[in-house]
Structure 1
Amino acid sequence: MSESVFLERIERVADALTRSGADAMIVTPSTDFAYLTGARPSLRERLIALGITADGRVRAVAPVFELDAMQPVIDIGIDVIAWSDGDDPAAMLIEGLGLGSRQRVAIGADVPMRFTLEFNRHSDIAWVPADEVLVPLRVRKSSTELALLRGAASAVDETYRRFLATTEFRGRTELAVQDDLREYLQATGHDLSGSFSIVAAGSNAAMPHHSPGARVLEEGMGVLTDFGGPREGYCSDMTRTWSLGPASARLREVHAVVLEANRAGFAAVRPGVTAESIDAVVRGVIERAGFGEYFTHRTGHGIGLDVHEAPYLVAGDTTVLEEGMAFSIEPGIYIPGELGVRIEDIVAVTADGAECLNNADRSLIEV
């Protein structure tokens, strides 16, 4: 992204700080840091931080021997204060931002407590969550961000196609199959360091976040696969459930209900409705089919730089959907000791409805 994108985001943060009554915001390496600067330094024991004040002052601090990771920050014109062991970087940032006592400072959710305590040693700061500043900015994706999300979704669609077409499943363990799935993720441009994959066979699929193990895939098993991760900075996330050989009548029954719920959720998305209303629509389909007690998680989560971010499609999230928001719709039915089915797509809100970013086959494929 261009330098102007990050400078505009920083300006919007300053405006949001003013509206919220906060004097400044501090974030450490995280997706918030990347959103504002394009830099992705590692979060270690030495302080790296970015500070923005309501009046537009911007400063960062970083160890002198980690300045190469801060080059994107320097490139957009932010003053990076380099410090050496023995210096006090918390005090240096507070001074650089011109913060005094009893000021309200929004702090990023990923700032470690040890750094917060360091700042507290130097100033009587009233901390407030930075989410009230950052979430409204990050929740609506720009056209560039949506293009990156489409690219990630297309890549994970291709991952699934290759995975089913070329993987040998019979007689192999979940772990072995997961290794193959990870290779396909990497081949389609995903960053494996942040990618994830679930392979859950038979009754193991009744655990929504099952950790793949030594179970051997056998004929007639339903298999739940959930996979994705960052690609060019923005995340994919998709789940499909398929059958190894002919599917049982029970698996077909449950899969049909989950697919209906997935489609109903997509059809309900449009600007002006609430996040929780989509959950109610999806949950209603499953409850009317008699499986309500087996749908044990929210309907969806936002996606972007993080695979899980706001908004959350769950009762209690009254966020009003707006054009540019992107999130998952992932109904599931999990019957302990028997089976599990989930179908997950990423959806973006458009001016008059929704766009489904995933196009991989949702049917109960028999491999």
Structure 2
Amino acid sequence: MRADAEVPADFRPRRLAALRDAIGRADLDGLLVTALPNIRYLTGFSGSSALLFVTARECVLFTDFRYETQVGDEVGGAATVRIEPTSLWTGLWPAIVGMAGVERIGFESAHLMHRDFARLLEQGSRWQWRPAIELVETLRAVKDPGEVAAIERAVQMAQTALEHTLKELVPGLTETAVAGRLERHLRETGSEAFPFPSIVASGPRSALPHARAADRLLAKGDLVLLDFGAVADGYCSDITRTVVLGSASAEQREVYDIVLEANIRASGAVRAGMLGMAADAVARDYIAACGYGEAFGHSLGHGIGLEVHESPRLARTVDAPLATGMVVTIEPGIYRPDWGGVRIEDDVLITDAGARVLTGFPRQLLEIA
């Protein structure tokens, strides 16, 4: 699907207008956008090589010959496109020179490599370069209906892939083999890519929150944690389910039920105006009251969209409020070294009426015979 079909046709003018307002509030005359997800958000261009320069009146995208056809299809009239035969930076400087009233220029300090910052100081020394903090990322945090629809498609792809994978889960498979089957099913459902390397961790290794799939053989009685996602029209889903291969022990069921209740409480509680730390506390306080506070070491969740980790964050130290239109993960967990771990993760949309869980895959404990 063409990138400019991801959301309603007017998404680029609205987003560029919002960015121009942000540029003005930051007392800048322009912004150099170097992060590819931000460029895609603003223009629809999905290539791997681009710079974007935005002022109150101009929007110029620089890319190379490989994307000459693609950039026209995806960007249309959203930006003036310049194909640079050698370096994207070579075309940037004369383009800025030709723009009247451009003196103070922001750059994306979180994304610009040092070698490219050196270019600003050397070749771009005639202008004042100022670090800009998340001007585009702040806009991306709130999704429009088209973005939500893409995330929902990615959620459905991931759920279908998980359903097929669990049917194939048997003792003797390696974690790597399970990850391979899961990723094959993701592709078969239409996923464009994998938002991150799929996590499959079994037995004691499920206590590693971000374990890489390894050559460990699955065995009866194992907890098996699967954390993965799909990509639809550039937008990500992020889901975790933990199952038991065989019959669950009383201890496994007890830990699972605590995590499940923490997930249910938090996913039902998130709302517009709630601070990230308050959302985190809903799940964390419950897990702590059950005696496992130290076993929940990571934050409750994060935003998803064009990247699998983006604003906002739901964490103990975050005092920024949530807003209607944000899509966040809710992923409480309990991890016990040498025993195993349980995480249950859902994708949740914050609406004016409260939280809407986008993930429909069952949350109750599944015992895979």
Q: TM-score range by the shorter chain?
A: over 0.9
1:57 aligns with 2:63: no
1:38 aligns with 2:41: no
Distance of 1:269 and 1:262 partners within structure 2: 11
In structure 2, the residue matched to 1:154 is: 156
In structure 2, the residue matched to 1:249 is: 250
What does the per-residue CA deviation read over 1:189-228, in whole Å, with 9 as the maximum and x for residues that have no partner?
Answer: 1123545311100000111000111100000111100010
Q: Which amino acid aligns with 1:109?
A: A
In structure 1, the residue matched to 2:34 is: 28
Contact 1:58 1:97 in 2 (8 A): no
In structure 1, the residue matched to 2:267 is: 266
In structure 2, the residue matched to 1:319 is: 320
Contact 2:206 2:224 in 1 (8 A): yes
User: Which shows bigger deviation, 142-151 or 71-80?
Assistant: 71-80
How much has 1:99 moved relative to structure 2?
6.5
Q: Which amino acid aligns with 1:241?
A: T
* Counterparts of residues 165-184 of structure 1 (less than 5 Å): 165=167, 167-184=168-185
The count of residues paired between Structure 1 and Structure 2 equals 359
In structure 1, the residue matched to 2:347 is: 346
Contact 2:267 2:348 in 1 (8 A): yes
Distance of 1:319 and 1:94 partners within structure 2: 35
Distance of 1:73 and 1:51 partners within structure 2: 17
Distance of 2:110 and 2:63 partners within structure 1: 19
Q: Report SS of the residue matched to 1:164.
A: helix
Q: Report SS of the residue matched to 2:106.
A: strand
1:7 aligns with 2:13: yes
Contact 1:29 1:40 in 2 (8 A): no
How much has 1:68 moved relative to structure 2?
2.8
In structure 2, the residue matched to 1:145 is: 147
User: Which shows bigger deviation, 65-74 or 193-202?
Assistant: 65-74
In structure 1, the residue matched to 2:68 is: 67
Distance of 1:61 and 1:271 partners within structure 2: 38
Q: Report SS of the residue matched to 2:367.
A: coil
How much has 1:14 moved relative to structure 2?
0.7
User: Which shows bigger deviation, 144-153 or 87-96?
Assistant: 87-96
Distance of 1:229 and 1:263 partners within structure 2: 23
Q: Provide structure 1 residue ranges, at least 5 long, that are not aligned to the other structure.
A: none
In structure 2, the residue matched to 1:114 is: 115
Q: Pick from 123, 126, 129 the counterpart of residue 126 of structure 1.
A: 129
Q: Report SS of the residue matched to 1:39.
A: coil
Distance of 1:171 and 1:292 partners within structure 2: 34
Q: Report SS of the residue matched to 1:361.
A: coil
User: Which shows bigger deviation, 153-162 or 335-344?
Assistant: 153-162
Q: Report SS of the residue matched to 1:192.
A: coil
Tell me which stretches of 4 or more aligned residues in structure 1 moved more than 4 Å: 96-101
Contact 1:229 1:307 in 2 (8 A): no
User: Which shows bigger deviation, 219-228 or 23-32?
Assistant: 23-32
Distance of 1:130 and 1:273 partners within structure 2: 23
How much has 1:172 moved relative to structure 2?
1.1
How much has 1:118 moved relative to structure 2?
1.6
1:364 aligns with 2:365: yes
Distance of 1:206 and 1:17 partners within structure 2: 44
Distance of 2:254 and 2:99 partners within structure 1: 61
User: Which shows bigger deviation, 81-90 or 244-253?
Assistant: 81-90
Calculate percent identity across the aligned residue pairs: 34
Change beyond 3 A, Cα 1:85–1:144: closer
Change beyond 3 A, Cα 1:200–1:74: closer
Change beyond 3 A, Cα 1:267–1:73: closer
Q: Provide structure 2 residue ranges, at least 5 long, that are not aligned to the other structure.
A: none
* TM-score, length-scaled by structure 1: 0.92
Change beyond 3 A, Cα 1:94–1:107: farther
Change beyond 3 A, Cα 1:361–1:107: same
* TM-score, length-scaled by structure 2: 0.92
* Counterparts of residues 235-314 of structure 1 (less than 5 Å): 235-314=236-315
How much has 1:29 moved relative to structure 2?
5.2
Q: Report SS of the residue matched to 1:324.
A: coil
Distance of 1:201 and 1:65 partners within structure 2: 43
How much has 1:284 moved relative to structure 2?
0.3
Change beyond 3 A, Cα 1:290–1:12: same
Distance of 2:118 and 2:97 partners within structure 1: 16
In structure 1, the residue matched to 2:218 is: 217
Change beyond 3 A, Cα 1:328–1:168: closer
How much has 1:264 moved relative to structure 2?
0.9
Distance of 2:349 and 2:60 partners within structure 1: 34
Distance of 1:337 and 1:97 partners within structure 2: 62
In structure 1, the residue matched to 2:197 is: 196
Change beyond 3 A, Cα 1:221–1:74: closer
* RMSD across aligned positions (CA): 1.9
Q: Report SS of the residue matched to 1:88.
A: helix
Contact 1:27 1:49 in 2 (8 A): yes
User: Which shows bigger deviation, 105-114 or 256-265?
Assistant: 105-114
User: Which shows bigger deviation, 249-258 or 77-86?
Assistant: 77-86
Distance of 2:71 and 2:347 partners within structure 1: 32
